[in-house]
């Protein structure tokens, strides 16, 4: 079997035109052991059950494995930074200037008191152009009320911290602590300036109408002069001499001055215009004086015409050299508040209801 196979191979090579045939002798193998045949390139061989390779036939190419495409990594999107919103500034209101935190030690305190007019009869009234000009220039308490009706209990409340049983306009002699004596005890001085007062410690209920200083002729009445109702004053000639008429007024004469126009000029029997004209003529005596420096003028009323809070809603002005123009104090105040303010400014003990009252906060 070996020889024919070699001859066949040689014939094939000769047919193919090969000039050189190379047949390597086959090594003998033991029986039963397959013999390996080495062929030159281009030879076909058949071995056992292996398929026959046909020379010259282009074999089917083994498909090249296509590499699996590497997925392109998707970049993580960079978040677009959100701009920090610019905060919208909170609009600031334009309130009037805030009040100071404490009261000055006033050099002088002046209280000018008018009669029987409700707040609405004064503030914005065409009959009171001068008072309304003061409201624009200085300070106004918009929520000030009187204690009661009629007049006299309010005067007593303002100067002693209570009404002490006074419920009408009678003649009273009260042995109670009062602001006038407090001022004296503190080393300060006081005057009760009463237009038309006859002098000489007059204790009568009223006097005839006279011309006394500025304004119209009018009568003096005791019920509007609280100092004479305190026995510590009416029974002491030296103290009683501090009750004077208007013509002798001197803005530098005393630290505390309580000023009451006559029955016409205080609007009790006169008109709002009468009171406005009086104040226009009188107030510059204070505000144009050197005594006005570091001082305060309170312009107020004894009572209104309604029963709001007991005695009506009344206008009250605070006038100082440094006042914020047009300032409005909206807190609830009473005559006790005015008493408290004066006592607090001067370091005096609080009398009666002044101890629980609020002091009048203005930018003094």
Mean pLDDT of the chain: 82
User: What is the spatial distance between Cα 360 and Cα 243, in angstroms, rounded to a whole number?
Assistant: 27
Q: Evaluate if residue 92 carries a pLDDT over 60.
A: no
| Percentage of residues in the chain having pLDDT higher than 90 | 72
Q: Which residue has the higher pLDDT, 333 or 20?
A: 333
Q: Shortest CA distance to 283 belongs to which of 302, 262, 297?
A: 297
Give the mean model confidence (pLDDT) for residues 118-136: 98
Q: Which residue has the higher pLDDT, 45 or 335?
A: 335
Report the SS3 class of residue 280. helix
| Percentage of residues in the chain having pLDDT higher than 70 | 72
pTM over 0.85: no
Q: Evaluate if residue 267 carries a pLDDT over 70.
A: yes
Give the mean model confidence (pLDDT) for residues 86-112: 63
pLDDT tens digits, one per residue of 240-263: 999 999 999 999 999 999 999 999
pLDDT at position 230, please? Answer: 98
Q: Shortest CA distance to 156 belongs to which of 136, 140, 172?
A: 172
pLDDT at position 102, please? Answer: 80
Q: Evaluate if residue 304 carries a pLDDT over 60.
A: yes
Of the pLDDT bands very low, low, confident and very high (cuts 50, 70, 90), residue 30 is: very low
Q: Evaluate if residue 6 carries a pLDDT over 80.
A: no
Q: Evaluate if residue 21 carries a pLDDT over 80.
A: no
Q: Evaluate if residue 238 carries a pLDDT over 70.
A: yes
pLDDT at position 35, please? Answer: 36
pLDDT tens digits, one per residue of 35-64: 333 333 333 333 333 333 333 344 444 444
User: What is the spatial distance between Cα 19 and Cα 321, in angstroms, rounded to a whole number?
Assistant: 139
pLDDT at position 340, please? Answer: 98
Report the SS3 class of residue 356. helix
Residue 50's CB is within 10 A of a number of other CB atoms, namely: 8
Assess contact for 349 and 182: CB atoms under 8 A.
yes
In this structure, the chain runs to a length of 364
Of the pLDDT bands very low, low, confident and very high (cuts 50, 70, 90), residue 101 is: low
* Sheet bearing 109-114, strands edge to edge: 243-244, 190-194, 256-260, 109-114, 296-301, 313-319, 139-145, 327-329
Give the mean model confidence (pLDDT) for residues 318-327: 98
């Amino acid at each position: 079997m070996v020889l024919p196979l070699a001859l066949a191979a040689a014939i094939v090579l000769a047919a193919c035109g090969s000039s050189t045939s190379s047949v390597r002798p086959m090594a003998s193998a033991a029986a039963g052991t397959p013999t390996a045949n080495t062929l030159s390139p281009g030879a076909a061989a058949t071995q056992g059950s292996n398929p026959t390779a046909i020379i010259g036939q282009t074999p089917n190419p083994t498909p090249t494995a296509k590499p699996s495409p590497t997925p392109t990594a998707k970049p993580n999107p960079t978040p677009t930074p959100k701009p920090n919103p610019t905060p919208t500034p909170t609009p600031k209101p334009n309130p009037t200037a805030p009040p100071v935190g404490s009261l000055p030690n006033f050099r002088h305190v002046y209280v000018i008191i008018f009669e029987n007019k409700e707040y609405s009869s004064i503030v914005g009234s065409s009959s009171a152009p001068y008072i309304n000009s003061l409201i624009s220039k200085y300070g106004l308490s918009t929520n000030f009320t009187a204690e009661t009706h009629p007049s006299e209990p309010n005067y007593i409340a303002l100067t002693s911290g209570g009404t002490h049983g006074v419920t009408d306009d009678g003649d009273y002699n009260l042995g109670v602590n009062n602001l006038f004596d407090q001022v004296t005890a503190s080393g300060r001085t006081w005057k009760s300036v009463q237009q038309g007062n006859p002098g000489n410690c007059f204790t009568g209920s009223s006097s005839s109408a006279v011309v006394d200083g500025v304004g119209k002729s009018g009568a003096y009445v005791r019920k509007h002069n609280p100092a004479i109702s305190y026995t510590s004053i009416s029974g002491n000639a030296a103290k009683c001499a501090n009750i004077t008429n208007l013509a002798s007024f001197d803005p530098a004469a005393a630290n505390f001055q309580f000023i009451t126009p006559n029955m016409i000029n205080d609007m009790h029997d006169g008109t709002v215009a009468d009171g406005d004209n009086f104040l226009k003529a009188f107030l510059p005596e204070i505000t144009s004086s050197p005594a006005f420096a570091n001082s305060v003028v309170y312009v107020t009323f004894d009572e209104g015409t309604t029963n709001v809070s007991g005695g009506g809603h009344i206008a009250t002005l605070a006038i100082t050299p440094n006042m914020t123009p047009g300032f409005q104090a909206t807190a609830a105040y009473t005559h006790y508040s005015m008493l408290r303010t004066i006592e607090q400014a001067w370091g005096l003990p609080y009398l009666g209801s002044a101890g629980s009252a609020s002091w009048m906060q203005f930018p003094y």
